[in-house]
Each structure stands twice: as C-alpha cells, then as structure tokens.
Amino acid sequence: MTTPLLSARDIHVRFELSRPGDMPWTRKPVLHAVNGVSFDLMPGQTLGIVGESGCGKSTLARALIRMVPATGQAIWQGGDDLMALSNARMKRYRSEIQMIFQDPLASLNPRMTLGRIIAEPLLTHRPDLSRAEVQARVRAMMDRVGLLPQMINRYPHEFSGGQCQRIGIARALIVEPKLLICDEPVSALDVSIQAQVVNLLEELQRDLGLAILFIAHDLSVVKHISDEVMVLYLGRMMEKAPADRLYAEPQHPYTQALLSAVPVPDPVVERGKKIVALKGDLPSPLAPPSGCVFRTRCPRAVEACAAEVPHPGTGAHRCACLFPGPPRHSEVA
C-alpha cells in the first residue's frame, strides 16, 4: 500500500482576538478557524477543498506549511511531523511544499524582473548552483509554463493576470516540489484564462508527479481537477469523498446545497433543477452552534443535533452528519 505523502491529523487553528478597550486581564474571544480536520493526501493526487468564505480553507493550507500557528499532526511521507519541527529543520521541507496564491499580481515583487522572481527559490534552496545553471533552469521553466524567452527582463505590472499566475506557478515549481498548494489560484481570472491555468496545472501534475491541494469556491473547477473533494463548514469537515462519487451522491445536506447552487449551462436542465435551500445566515465563528455546527441552517436538524458533534467516520466516503443520505422531498424546491 502506498504511503501518504501528507497525513494531517486533528488540525486545529485558533486565534485570540483583541478588541478596543480590552484590559490586560480581560478574557479575549477565541476564533476557531480550523477545528479537528484530518485527511490523507497520496503522491500524485489532487485534493479539492471547498466551502463558503470563512470556512477555514486557506487557514488550513497555511497551517500545514507553518504560516500560522496550529496544533495537531502533519506527517510527511510517514516520517517527520511538520508541526513539531524546529524552524531550522522545517527549512528543508520548504522546497518540497510550495504555494501559489489567489491574487497573482500581489504575490509577485513589483521591483523584481520575471527572471529574478522565478530564480529566487533556487537562490534560497539551491545555493550550490552556478549562475549559468540557475538561468538555464529559469528559461526551461518559463518554456514549460508558456512564458516567452523575451519576457525574462520584464516586471510584473507588464503582464496580464493569467501571465502573472503562470509566473507564480513557475516560481513554485522551479525547486521541484512534491506538493503544490493552490489557494484559489483562478478565482481572480477570466473564465477562459481559468481553463488555461487549470489545464496547465493538470499537465504539470502528470509530467512532474505532483500532489496538489486545490482550494476554490467554484465547484465545477474543483470537480474538473480533483481526485477527492473535502467540504468544510465553520472550520469542520462536513464531507470527503472521491470527486465523482461526491458529485453524484452527496450525503451531507450542506454539500447538496452547494452543488444545487452550481449553474448548469443548459437552460432546460437549469429550469428543472432541484434546489436545496438553506435557512438563515452563516453563524459567527466566534460563537459557533453547539453540537453540529451546521444545524442552525440544516433542513434535517433535530434536538439530538444540538447535543452531539457528528464524526465524519472512516472510509472512502466520509460524512459528518447524524442523518446522511440523498435530499428528501421536503428539502428541495
């Protein structure tokens, strides 16, 4: 059996918030951004992470690479726990885990040329390489992601959003990582450019054997690129399953509501589509509901949901719901 590239176990991220006028002895409110999330990511696999804004998707990704303080375990290839490593020991893993960001232009240094931006990770992680070797690798990576050689001395403001994202991808892949974390990499791009970037990521994954954590709001994009999909709500995992199975047979009412809201490009199908409507608004993460955090909006909620936190269980299809199953007649409109 193949060893997971990354095994995340019971990841928690909490932030203490300060308010104007708070005294030193005042108890500060605590925001539970990520609450007990666990998953395995296999080599060469893509795990899509979806959910509403504020559900903890990006915070989870940042926790795994130690950009925010977290508790739990992140076991790398059955060996070291990334959460327990010192900063010095963690440095060797920085080249194996790279990240691309939502705003492609903002993630690039405006004072650096394209060539210098792409070369920077090599200067940090591969100081043994000569200048000629670095330049050769930069030009090869530019060609691989579709950037022309004459662009090498241009600055970020001279490129479009799609080109800037290609630069970000090249910078991330220049050190040959094993895991690429994509934090909503196409949400700021036009639809046609989104397709180009997603296709590029798929091609690079096949060629380089990358594992990818793909965070997005667009469920159609996630379905296209992901092997498995994990749905988060208020920092907790609601459902996780192989992509085809989750889209065909969602078991959690939150997943069903998200999928029913995805527009279909066929007007006949769109008009006849069943919508799973949610009631109420998203609760404050500072005061999440007791028991199941989704119960205040769930059409299946009963008294027991307020007392018991549902466990997602084990297996290929995991669902954190006391009453999983297909949408009921009373839940659709």
What is the CB neighbour count within 10 angstroms for residue 79? 8
Q: How far apart are CA 136 and CA 202, in angstroms?
A: 24
Lowest mean pLDDT: which of 102-116, 186-200, 214-228, 264-278? 264-278
What is the CB neighbour count within 10 angstroms for residue 159? 19
Tell me, what's the pLDDT at 275?
A: 77
What pTM does this model have? Answer: 0.90
Model confidence over 12-21: pLDDT tens digits?
999 988 777 6
Task: Let me know if 41 is exposed, middle or buried by CB neighbors in 10 A (0-12, 13-18, 19+).
Answer: buried
**Domains of the chain, residue spans:** 6-96+177-249
Tell me, what's the pLDDT at 86?
A: 87
Q: How far apart are CA 17 and CA 76, in angstroms?
A: 31
Please state which of the four CATH numbers 1.20.120.450, 3.40.50.620, 3.40.50.1970, 3.40.50.300 is assigned to the domain occupying 6-96+177-249.
3.40.50.300
Cβ atoms of 53 and 248 within 8 Å: the answer is no
Q: Given a cut of 70, is residue 322 above it in pLDDT?
A: yes
Model confidence over 283-300: pLDDT tens digits?
888 888 999 999 999 888
Cβ atoms of 178 and 211 within 8 Å: the answer is yes
* Side-chain half-sphere CA neighbours of 229 within 13 A: 27
Q: Given a cut of 70, is residue 270 above it in pLDDT?
A: no
SS3 at position 156 = helix
Written as six digits, the tokens of 123 are 């200067």
